[in-house]
Each structure stands twice: as structure tokens, then as C-alpha cells.
Amino acid sequence: MTIKIREVKTRTDLRTFISLSESIHAGQANWVHPIYMDEWKYFDPKKNKAFGYCDTLLLLAEKDGKAAGRVMGIINKRFNDYRKENIARFGTFETWDDPETFHALLARVEEWARQKGMARIIGPYGFSDQDPEGWLTEGFENRATIATYYNYEYMLRLVEAEGYTKDMDYVVYKVPVPRQMPEFYVKIYERIQRKGSYVIHEFKKRKELKPWIVPIFELMNECYVNSNIYGYAPLDHKEMNDLADRYLPVVDPRFVKVVTKDAEVVSFIIAMPDMTAGIRAARGRLFPLGFIKILRAAKRTKQLDLLLGAVKEKYRGIGLDVLMGVKMLQSASEAGKEFLDTHHEMETNLKVRAEMERMGGVIYKKYRVYQKNL
């Protein structure tokens, strides 16, 4: 059958684009619906500031008049200018196990990227590293989290057949929440506490977090840029507030820890209870009753998902990560959580990986970002 590739131009097209993933993954227990209200905001140039500094291309594939695949092409000009590179990205890529459709979509994105003067393409990747990144390569038996892709294994075969190779691998650890804190961490925690110059802040209500949002993201900007975090480009204040609006309604304040020194934010860590069982039960729809299912799942889950964290460069190696970690593990234990999902850790970040393994963590998922020269 003839494959037709067309750009997403209308609201009807965008509805097809957004909903297609649910059709492709129907019956797959470990795929998690997106929260569709967020999806409409994400793809709206009026509400997602990233469209202002990124070139984008949204494509749908059709076979016999029916939607057969989708992909988004992205050129993050801010990132390219900052890194002095010419890199395009593909993301939100979905097809059935159909090499022809897969090839047609990807070839169109590659052609678009070459016309824009790009030398290389990576993916799957979104506007920034705050979006899902990488396809699952190991751990298909585990459910996706709210911040990650779930894909079929055939996607790896199809992309490698197109000449793509590994650009970056991530590992995800499953870390048990200890009933009793290991002595090693207790000693470091007590040593930091004795110094008295570091204050750790904990929260009970979401409104208490609001004054901390911009300082937290400013520190994230500083740390991620200085550490050359893969794929990261600095956020401006509008994007910081957009991220806050996106996640603050579902963040549990008990699982946000901030450390200050002389009233300056020097480290933070943010986690949230896994709510994917509720999102699946709600099928990604918050209304009329979906939000109740999601909140109920967050209370019942035994899993805590780590999302973001950073330590100011000059304060690294003195135990602030342990100070926050002990408090996070205490909060997790009090809330009845049994293990942490660490989210993506770059395979090359051996220091953090060693820390996770010291805590008894084991790798239970792996993700890969692919690349190809154009």
C-alpha cells in the first residue's frame, strides 16, 4: 500500500498525532498513557515557549487512509548555538512493526534536517532533557514512569536498520528503601549536621514550595551547564515557571529537599510517588474522575520516582547528597515506600552509579539515544 507522509497542520491532525500512541500500544500493560491535557499544552506553540527557539516538524504517516505512524523533528537552536553544533532531533516517534512506514517518516525528518543545514541527528529526544529521552533497551517487563518512554523492542531493530548507532546509554536503578539507615550514611549525615552552616529545608504544603522554584531551577541551570549534561540547554525564567506549572500540581512536597548555606540554595533533590497505575486507570484523562484515580494511586504506590537533583559545584564531595538522601529515605520510609526509581543516569557517570550500588541499587532498566550523521 502507498504510504503518505503529511505535516500536522490542523487541530484534527494534532488530535490524531496525540492519540495514535494509545492505539499502537493498546493492550500493552507497561505502556502508560500521557496526561492528555499536558500533551495539548506541550504541542501548542502559544503555551510551550520551546517552539520560540526551536524549528519543528510534526509528521503523520497514512496507509490506506488510516494513521500508521508519527514523528516530531526538532532543531533546538539555543542548544546548537550554545554547543556550537548542528544537531537535529527526532522524538515522539511511534509506528507499528512496519519498516516501510518507519523508514518513510525518518527519511522525511532527515531530509528536513539536511535542508536546515544539520550535520547529525539524535533521538528519541524532546526539546530538552526535561522531556522523555531514549528508547528502552532492557527492562521491558517494567512499567514506564511518568517521565520516560515505553517502546516495543522492534523500534530498536527498525532504527538500527536505518544506520543509527548508540550515542548515549542511560541506566535506571531500583534502590530499596532501608528500614534502618546504613551506618556509613549516618556518620556522614551527622558530620554535616555538626558543621551547622548548612540548613536542610523540608515542606508539607505545595504553596510552601513556590518561593523556591526559581532558585532551584537557577541552580539546575548552573550545575547542568557546568557539568556539560548531555542534551541540556539553559532554561530562561519563563520556562522555569512553565515547568513549575507542569509538575507542581502533582509534586508531593514531602519529597522535595533543599539545602541552603547563608540563605543561598546550594543543593536540591525532587522526587514524586509513582502514579502510573492511576494514569493508566484514568487513561490519561484528568476529568471527570481521572485525577481522583491518579491521586489514589500516588498514595498507594510503594515506588518513589527521583526526578531532579543538583549540588553546587564548589560544595560537591562534602556530603550534601547524603544529607538530602538520608532525609529523602526517611520521608519515603514514613510514607510506606519500599523502593526508589532513580530515573536516567548516564552510563558514564560512574560516581553516581557507585553511590546507587552502595545503597543496594540494581539496574533494572536501560535506555539508549541513537545518532546518525546526515
* Residue 6 pLDDT exceeds 70: yes
- A 10 A CB-CB count for 10 gives 8
CA 135 to chain centre: 12
Say how far apart CA 79 and CA 86 lie, in whole Å.
9
Grid coordinates representing 165?
Answer: 548507532
* Residue 210 pLDDT exceeds 80: yes
| 14-32 average pLDDT score | 96
- A 10 A CB-CB count for 164 gives 20
Please name the helix (run of DSSP H) or strand (run of DSSP E) that holds residue 99, with its range, or none.
helix 99-115
Residues of the chain with pLDDT > 70: what percent?
Answer: 99
- Burial (CB < 10 A; 0-12, 13-18, 19+), residue 169, is middle
* Residue 99 pLDDT exceeds 70: yes
Cα separations in angstroms, 286 against 26, 36, 292 = 19, 8, 8
Grid coordinates representing 286?
Answer: 484528568
> How many CA atoms lie less than 13 Å away from 351 in the CB half-sphere?
3
Q: Which of 157-161, 339-343, 352-356 has the lowest mean pLDDT?
A: 352-356
| 163-190 average pLDDT score | 90
pLDDT in tens, 321-348: 888 999 999 999 999 999 999 999 999 9
Q: Is the dihedral of CA 139, 140, 142, 143 positive or negative?
A: positive
* Residue 1 pLDDT exceeds 70: no
pLDDT at 303: 97
Inter-residue contact 101 to 61 (CB < 8 Å)? yes
Tell me if 3-170 shares its fold with 178-337. Answer: yes
pLDDT at 208: 92
pLDDT in tens, 54-77: 999 999 999 988 999 999 999 999
Beta bridge partner(s), residue 124:
none
Grid coordinates representing 374?
Answer: 546526515
- Of residues 81 and 228, the one with the higher pLDDT is 81
Grid coordinates representing 367?
Answer: 535506555
Cα angle: 256, vertex 241, 221; to 5 degrees: 70
* Residue 350 pLDDT exceeds 80: yes
Q: 66-76 and 54-63 as β-strands: parallel, antiparallel, unpaired? A: antiparallel
Average pLDDT value over all residues in the chain: 92
Nearest to 43 by CA among 63, 27, 64, 20: 20
Report phi then psi at 71, rounded to 5: -160, 155
Say how far apart CA 356 and CA 115 lie, in whole Å.
44
Beta bridge partner(s), residue 97:
none
- A 10 A CB-CB count for 208 gives 13
Grid coordinates representing 173?
Answer: 536503578
Q: In sequence order, which residues have a C-beta less than 8 Å from that of residue 95 and are 6 or more positions away?
A: 24, 61, 68, 69, 70, 101, 102, 105, 155, 158
The pTM of this model reads 0.92
pLDDT grade, residue 187 (50/70/90)? confident
| 183-196 average pLDDT score | 81
| 37-63 average pLDDT score | 95
pLDDT grade, residue 105 (50/70/90)? very high
pLDDT in tens, 219-274: 998 998 777 777 777 788 877 877 777 777 778 999 999 999 999 999 999 999 99
Select from 3.40.50.1100, 3.20.20.20, 3.30.1370.110, 3.40.630.30 the CATH code of 178-337.
3.40.630.30
**Overall fold of domain 3-170:** Aminopeptidase (3.40.630)
Inter-residue contact 132 to 261 (CB < 8 Å)? no
Residue extents of the structural domains in the chain? 3-170, 178-337
* Residue 180 pLDDT exceeds 80: yes
Q: Where are the beta strands (DSSP E) in 77-164?
A: 87-95, 120-123, 135-138
Task: Look at the chain and count its residues.
Answer: 374
Say how far apart CA 119 and CA 83 lie, in whole Å.
14
- Find the farthest-apart pair of alpha carbons in the chain and give their distance in angstroms, rounded: 72
